[in-house]
Amino acid sequence: MDFALSEEQRQIRDTVAEFVDEEVVPRAAEIDESDEFPADLIDEMAELGLMGMPFPVEYEGAGLDYHSYAIGLAEISRGSGGLGTVVAAHTSLAGNMLYEFGDERQREEYLTALNTGEDVGAFALSEAEAGSDVPAMTTTAEPDGDGYVVDGGKLWISNGSVADTITLFAKTDPDAGRKGISSFVVRPEEDDGFIVEGTEDKLGDKGCPTAELRFDDMWIPEDRRLGEEGEGFVQALKTLNGGRITIAARSVGIARAALNEAKSYAQEREQFDHAIADFQAIQHKLADMDTKARAAELLMHEAADLKMRDEDYIKEAAQAKLYASEISREVANEGIQIHGGYGYTKDFPAERFYRDAKLSEIYEGTSEVLRNTIAQQLLDE
């Protein structure tokens, strides 16, 4: 067992950390305030190869292993939780669907443009009545000539209002339950009947637009289907398994940001003629925050390492995401506590970390659903 990062992993961490400290951290409060998609930062990240980290260079990806990608995503999220979601939805979800289940033409045409950052990607699975219960979806794709007519709607789609390529799940056989779900590539600019209904006003995760989408008699050609009809549900689960590792990474990044900020504040803030870091109560909080962040990081590293080695990682990815998201919220909460009243104001980023951390407990499998997954895996072992 080797706990040391490889040379490549250290390099990606340091490169991304430098970019984040110089370009993202100074902008994070403004992104949070305006809730605007930071298109210029995406362009800069694309130039650094950060919009297609885990994909091969033949598709203009950075050719990194999945583990290095997770490390990079943790750094991005340390700067901005919203930016972390933008990159995770674009890469782990949309990009991975195309890489794993697209044919050669689909990869060349759609994945390459995602990797260069020319296009932004999204993953449209959830619906108003089908969140955890994916097979309850009602969006349909009915065969029509050499294509399909799509009708229905999707909710909560990260990057949904700005995406150029959306991997969409719809029922091609509404009576077949989970076996009746298929996946498709949607191109909002080309597909008549694609409608953005609006975006959510959220607690946190600002800068990443979360869109409601509608498809009104939207015709798409058959060659936009990913894989065979009926494979969509399994494709979605496989993609989300990998995605959970990066949501663990996002959580670790936010926890680290909350800890760093709380530590600096505790060393500067004086009460009773002492820096508050001199008080054992504060020291113990910092100790717990660091211990939890390190434990989450190790779970994230293990799950990423298993995926990189092509070994089973469903349970480990669920555990990494479950634990990292819960401790990220706890660490951010203690960060506010260490800041006292100031932590409850927008003058310090402590409250933003808390709002951003909370989301990781909800998307890509809620904590409750992940506990179900972990228990099932455990009982099947």
Contact footprint for ligand FAD (CB under 6 A)? 89, 123-126, 131-132, 156-158, 202, 205, 210, 359, 362-364, 366, 368-369, 372
Q: Which is nearer to ligand FAD, 19 or 123 (CB)?
A: 123
| Residue reference for tokens 């029922």 | 171
Please state the closest distance from residue 34 (CB atom) to ligand FAD, in A.
17
Q: Which is nearer to ligand FAD, 13 or 371 (CB)?
A: 371
Q: Which is nearer to ligand FAD, 305 or 351 (CB)?
A: 351
Spatial distance between the Cα atoms of 128 and 183, rounded to a whole number of angstroms: 18
- Half-sphere exposure (CA, 13 Å, Cβ side) for 300? 33
Please state the closest distance from residue 11 (CB atom) to ligand FAD, in A.
30
| Residue reference for tokens 């362009």 | 43
Q: Which two tokens stand for residue 79?
A: 């700067």
Spatial distance between the Cα atoms of 35 and 28, rounded to a whole number of angstroms: 10
Please state the closest distance from residue 361 (CB atom) to ligand FAD, in A.
9
Give residues with Cβ within 8 angstroms of 253, minimum separation 6: 73, 74, 75, 76, 77, 78, 79, 81, 84
Q: Where are the alpha helices (DSSP H) in the chain?
A: 7-19, 25-34, 39-47, 66-79, 81-88, 96-101, 104-106, 112-115, 232-268, 280-308, 314-338, 350-359, 367-380
- Helix axis angle for 350-359 and 81-88, nearest 10°, is 30
How many Å is the Cα radius of gyration of the chain? Answer: 21
Please state the closest distance from residue 157 (CB atom) to ligand FAD, in A.
5
Q: Which is nearer to ligand FAD, 160 or 343 (CB)?
A: 160
Please state the closest distance from residue 160 (CB atom) to ligand FAD, in A.
7
**CA torsion angle 319 324 325 327 (round to 10):** 120
Active site residues: 364
Q: Which is nearer to ligand FAD, 62 or 359 (CB)?
A: 359
Q: Which is nearer to ligand FAD, 101 or 156 (CB)?
A: 156
| Residue reference for tokens 């990443």 | 208
Residue nearest to ligand FAD (CB): 131
Please state the closest distance from residue 362 (CB atom) to ligand FAD, in A.
5
* Chain CA centroid to CA 261, Å: 23
